[in-house]
A and B are shown apart, each in its own frame.
Chain A
Amino acid sequence: MNPSWPSINLRVNGEHHSLNLPPMKRLLDVLREDLHLTGTKEGCGEGECGSCSVRMDGELVNSCMVPVLQAQDACVETVEGLACDAELHPLQKAFLEFGGAQCGICTPGMLMAASHLLAHNPTPNIAEIRDGLAGNLCRCTGFIRIFDSVIATIASNAKSQQERNAR
């Protein structure tokens, strides 16, 4: 407990945390070091690669660029929160089937960017998908199978929507 540090309250993947932290500590490091959520990765530390992408109060942010003070009272979603119990998120299923992940280091950020995109626009076209993922670099896949995975997710979401409607 360092009295000169503020107490930071934040909710991560639905779980509440109250932490005594240096205010300028990067959200990325708080997630990885203090909360042991190492799914979020650091690729550049300067807001260029997107491998540290998380959602914060519904916005997609590079957690390497966010001092934790800015996350006071925020709701943060990371890759660890995507799957529901053991059931993979539809995006995760599609990435697995269509080869959207190779080395996997960009994958957590890419999944967060893709889920953010679909939350705002459930049926993006290819140009919108490219635009939505433009802040996330992948050096392995050439992006093609990541696009395929997102497109497949849109189709499977539409199908489950139809099934729900039919019921």
Chain B
Amino acid sequence: MSTSAKTRIVGSSVPRKEGVDKLMGRARYVDDIERDGMWHGATVRSSIPRGIIRSIEFDPRIDWGEFAVVTAADVPGENHIQLIFADQPCLADGQVNHCEEAIALLAHPNKQKLREAVAAVRIDYEPLPAVFTIEESERQDVIVWGEDNIFKSFLLEKGNVDQAWTGAAHVIEGEYRTGAQEHLYIENNGMIAEYNSAHGVTVWGSLQCPYYVHKSLMAVFGLPEEKVRVIQTETGGAFGGKEDFPSVLGSHAALLAMKAGRPVKMIYDRMEDLAATPKRHPSRIRHRTAVDANGMLLAMDIEVATDGGAYSTLSSTVLSRATLHSPGPYVCPNVRVRSRAWATNTVPYGAFRGFGAPQAIFAIERHMDEIAAGIGMDPIELRRRNFLQDGTTTATEQVMREHVIMDKLLDRALTESNYYARKTQFAQENPASAIKRGIGIAAFFHGSGFTGSGERNLNSLAGVDVTSEGKVRVLVSSTEFGQGTNTILTQIASEAIGLDIGDVVMALPDTGIVPNSGPTVASRTSMVVGKLIQRAGTQLVSMLHDKAGLEESFTRAEFFAACERYRAKLGDVVSLCRYEPPPNIFWDDQKYRGEAYPAYAWSIHVAQVAVDTITYSTEVEDFWAVQEVGRVLNPVLAGGQIEGGVAQGIGYALYEKVVWQNGRMANNQMTNYIMPTAEDVPPIHVLFEEIPFMHGGFGAKGIGELPHDGPAPAILNAIKDATGVSFCSIPLMPEDILAKLVVASSIEVAATV
């Protein structure tokens, strides 16, 4: 079926599949589940950033016989979490490398006694020197990881950057920084585990990627795959924060369950979740750009540095995405990106919506405004002259084969926001007002799916089957955590087969039932897994045509009757499909060149801000998000993804500051880590252009991460428009604005005197 063909269900705002359960309070999140004889688990954590563990002492005033106690010595298999490299211990063994690192686990039926017991475990340390920032790690006088503190480095090269400087009309430099950001899903991390020697390990929990947890549990317990079962429970928000960490918590709960000989539930409270779980990688990105007299980009020399924290987790892939997005959606003949992820002694940083792209897009899109100012050109015009177009190549020499419509998106954003009229109006009003208004934009792309050869390596499997109760079930390990997986995939399956949405259900996300359709990350579900489900649906129908006499056109009853005939003759009615890379997609890992992503989503954000020059607070007053994400499968859900991402991006820019003290998050409460509330979000105008992508589920590309990339640069560009001052670091707090505006105004005063 062609991607733009008329559809019945895809493209319509079918209500959220699990919506009624959520609205009635019936949906079962992990903390809503009880198991017979269940105990509670808790974690004893490191209080220092780095040091040797001399001893673990258990206060004799506690009757430890009542407790299950687990330390590294109890790990039956490998004491490592299996992500990209296995460097992170499941439980610290002999040394700690960050504050809040797990050292021991306790379980008991009574939560109060458990809290007292955690406080009664004393760890004796021999402290070691620690590093806390990219700069300290770069100095390499204290080595805290490997031989050089470097988790990963990349070199991306196109053309010859070094020859471009001399002939350039302008060379513009800038340095941009982004801070850590907390996911702040409203449901904290939590898991329940059971263990018995006959069946092995079962865990239920709040998680994105059942097979990631499965892989870690197999290693930690030394068990074969059939003896490990991972079941996702309703998940109250994730945003990447439940991609890597559930492998840690799942292992902890399971170790306690084994030791206690009974089910164990571990639910973090907010303070523990904030202090001990991963956040977005802080970054420092430097740009040096050569531009000709007409504003055409001649060369980009980019240096990306990220802070990865104490263990490598996903730092290498986050760095890769940051590297690939750092040149932005522009054509440039000469590009060099040198990037490194550095180890420090903080909680390991992990996946967070955008996965390195928000950092990179912040830098390039702020920098484009700096270039425009430096060469005296309208920032809109500068971008327009340099946009990627059909047939041009990216920094990795990927040819733009799919239609690129950045010009059109830009025009639409300018018109909808009335950009130039507002800009003129603010320029007139600002001099006489203590409130300075401004308007700014960001232009960006976001690669859909895994980077480079990632999807090939994942080799995902997904499909549908038909139950004897007369329902089609979607079989995927792709999970729902608010983004709409259940709804989108059942829409695709019912469309492809020719049934109603009510005839299709999701199989329980249980590794004992569903195949490995890959992790639920990287904006890949609609595009990659959606396509697998579309193919599996079509394949099911032709199977029934061939083997069970289903006619060309059929009613619902005829369809299910054919399924029963098939079942009687041939057994289970199942149709599975494996990922097939789109043709002409090739990525060279060695040279770091080729088709970095099968497709890109494209977007323009426009932000209008008001900076109060008395309180130095900034309000985002209005926001426009125009994007091309392939086919929009469900307009209500898609709009919700964009709005939610924009709100998080606003938080990233202006509200959300992690305060560090000795490598520990000091403000680990909702009282002092502040996210935007119902009173802070502006109206968000969401506009889609649709160009169906042939290799995505009914034409879809990725959508989930895209909206987090643009708000921060658009907002800081608007603040520059409002105040005339460039800010190059986020989060941008009132005190930062105060510091710079006061300096700027004293210079102004000095100049006029």
Contact = CB atoms under 8 A, between A and B. Distances in A.
B234 interface: yes
A137 interface: yes
A74 B186 CA distance: 28
Given A49-B670, A142-B684, A96 B29 contact: no
Interface stretch (A2-10, A35-43, A157-165): A35-43
B25 A88 contact: no
B270 A102 contact: no
A141 B186 contact: no
Given A138-B186, A140-B237, A144-B684, A45 B269 contact: yes
Interface residues of A, number: 52
A108 B648 CA distance: 21
Contacts of B622: none
B681 A102 contact: no
B393 interface: no
Contact of B23 (A78, A88, A131): A88
Nearest to A80: B25
B646 interface: yes
Interface in A102-157: 102-108, 111, 129-131, 133-134, 136-147
A103 B677 contact: no
A145 B643 contact: yes
A38 B25 contact: yes
Interface stretch (B277-285, B397-405, B633-641, B727-735): B633-641
Contact of A130 (B13, B186, B187, B678): B678
Contacts, number: 168
B601 interface: no
B669 interface: yes
Interface in A33-82: 37-46, 48-49, 51, 78-80, 82
B644 A142 contact: yes
B684 A79 contact: no
B643 A49 contact: no
A104 B22 contact: yes
A144 B26 CA distance: 24
User: Which of B183, B187, B684 has most A Cβ within 10 Å?
Assistant: B187
B605 to A, nearest CB: 13
B186 A96 contact: no
B671 A48 contact: yes
B184 A88 contact: no
Nearest to A145: B640
B679 A43 contact: no
B185 A103 contact: yes
Interface in B669-686: 669-671, 675-679, 681, 683-684
A141 B640 contact: yes
A75 B645 CA distance: 38
A137 B679 CA distance: 10
Instruction: In the A-B complex, list the 9 residue pairs whose CB atoms are closest, starting with the nearest.
Output: A39-B25, A105-B236, A103-B482, A104-B22, A142-B647, A102-B482, A48-B670, A79-B25, A142-B643
26 contacts: A37-B25, A38-B32, A41-B186, A41-B187, A42-B31, A43-B186, A43-B187, A43-B670, A44-B669, A48-B671, A99-B16, A99-B636, A104-B18, A104-B236, A105-B187, A111-B23, A130-B678, A139-B648, A141-B643, A142-B643, A142-B648, A143-B647, A143-B677, A144-B643, A145-B639, A146-B678
